[in-house]
Chains A and B, each alone.
Chain A
Amino acid sequence: MSILKVDGIRSNSATSDAITLASDGTCTANITNNLSNRNLIINGDMQVAQRGTSSTAYGYGSVDRWKNTHSGIGVTPTHSQQTATSSDTGIWEAGFRHYLRFALPSAGTASAASWLSFTQFIEAQDIASSGWNYTSTSSYITVSFWIRVSTNQTFYANLGTRDGTRKRFSFAITASGNNTWTKITKTIPGHADLQFDANNDRGLDIQITPHYGTDFTGNTTLDSWVDHQSGTNAYPDYATTWLTAGASTFDLTGVQVEVGSVATDFEHRSFAQELALCQRYFYMHASGGFDLVNTDRCPIGLGYGYTSTSGFVMITFPTQMRTDPSLYKVVGTDYFNFAYNGNNGFPNDISANRMSSQVCELSFHTGSSWDQNAAGMFRTYNTAARVGFDAEL
């Protein structure tokens, strides 16, 4: 048996060690694959879409955890979950089967107050306890993601902080050509002014921006942390090539934010794992159309008639939500059914009578009457009916 005694192992063509050995018998390695629990982004591969697969809503509405905002561009864009195929060279081989798309119906117009962005917010406590020594300039966080654009130009992205003095780190991103998937990586150092409190508020946000108007651009320094100012320091002025080219698309997937100076391979998680992580922020409890026999009916829970025109159902969430959630509801005439003792009531509306981060006491009301004190099953009765809970950042 022999022992190899060295202080480091380095590729002939590299400028830094792949493995650095310390005098205490330990080592540090820049391993780029098969590491677990390092991606601070949730649903970075865009596989979960509880609200639906396509939306024109401002904010959340399609792929979970991604806030899609737009204003002043003269057209209404659609944000959607798209399914990748083997033709998606690059992301397909890397194991991605979905991506998030912003699509313009036609050419947009560039006004000063216009913008279009993808954003994900990370809880402050998750950054505080991530292991990133964020006040040190020699400690790093690394961002990586894939983009594809129909018309290429220089775009920008940034990381932003919320606690203490708000800071922003902006950097340029460019695809390798039109309609070509390109992997972007950026390593970002800490800064003495960064602050992340140990709470469930917004801590770090990553924003990837197809377009920003001049109200928000023009006075910034790229590739360094600068103080956040409302207005002019988000990015340099944007070219409007992509926005005005026609029915442009901007595709995004494989978003990863991890502690360290190396962009490792994307941490693929199972659908079940990713869904469970998403449900801390949004949980779709019932959606008319889940029942394969009666496609308008989805169970909500067992309930009882408090009066002949109101009743209650208790819903327990699958995981504790970030905070007391908003009730997301799609309601209308006879959208719900209260079935009891061979009879039926047809409530039109629901409300959250009591709400915590773990349980909702849901009331159903309005519409036809039912028997007071009756116990029965409460369910949807229309394919459009929805019952969800929203605690997004």
Chain B
Amino acid sequence: MTFPTNPIYKILKERAAGKDPDGNVITPQVTAIIKYLGTEGHYLEIPLNKDNTDYQEYLLWVAEGNTAAEEAD
């Protein structure tokens, strides 16, 4: 697995794809943020929940002007 070490965060989108009941193509939504923990293969997958302190740290990191990598579609 290739993962960016700088930035240490990557945006994770829904894996499921397809169409909704009206036939519209579903756009994968962001489901979590992945944080690289400094060793190959070691990650935190962070839910978008403001009570989660890992997510709070991510939001602070973004507020400092940083941008997470986008997962390839």
Interface contact B45-A326, CB-CB below 8 Å = yes
Which of B22-30, B50-58, B62-70 sits within the interface?
B50-58
Interface contact B15-A363, CB-CB below 8 Å = yes
Instruction: State which of A325, A328, A363, A384 has its C-beta within 8 Å of the C-beta of B52.
Output: A325
Interface contact B54-A390, CB-CB below 8 Å = yes
Cβ distance B49 to chain A, nearest Cβ, rounded Å = 4
Range for the number of chain A residues in contact with chain B: 20 to 34
A355: CB under 8 A from chain B? yes
Cβ contacts A186-227/B at 8 Å (1 or 0 each): 000000000000001110000000000000000000000000
Range for the number of chain B residues in contact with chain A: 20 to 34
Interface contact A351-B1, CB-CB below 8 Å = no
With A57-B37, A332-B1, A348-B1 already in contact, the answer to whether A355 and B54 are too (CB < 8 A) is no
Instruction: State which of B37, B45, B54, B55 has its C-beta within 8 Å of the C-beta of A351.
Output: B45
Interface contact A351-B12, CB-CB below 8 Å = yes
- A351 contacts across to B, CB distance below 8 A: 12, 15, 32, 45
A330 to B42 Cα, complex, angstroms: 4
The 10 closest A-B pairs by CB, nearest first: A323-B51, A327-B45, A324-B49, A332-B41, A324-B47, A326-B44, A326-B46, A326-B54, A355-B47, A330-B42
Extra contacts, 20 of them, besides A310-B15, A326-B44, A327-B44 (Cβ < 8 A), are A57-B37, A57-B38, A323-B52, A324-B51, A326-B35, A326-B47, A326-B54, A327-B32, A327-B45, A328-B43, A328-B44, A330-B42, A330-B43, A331-B1, A331-B43, A332-B40, A352-B32, A352-B47, A390-B44, A393-B53
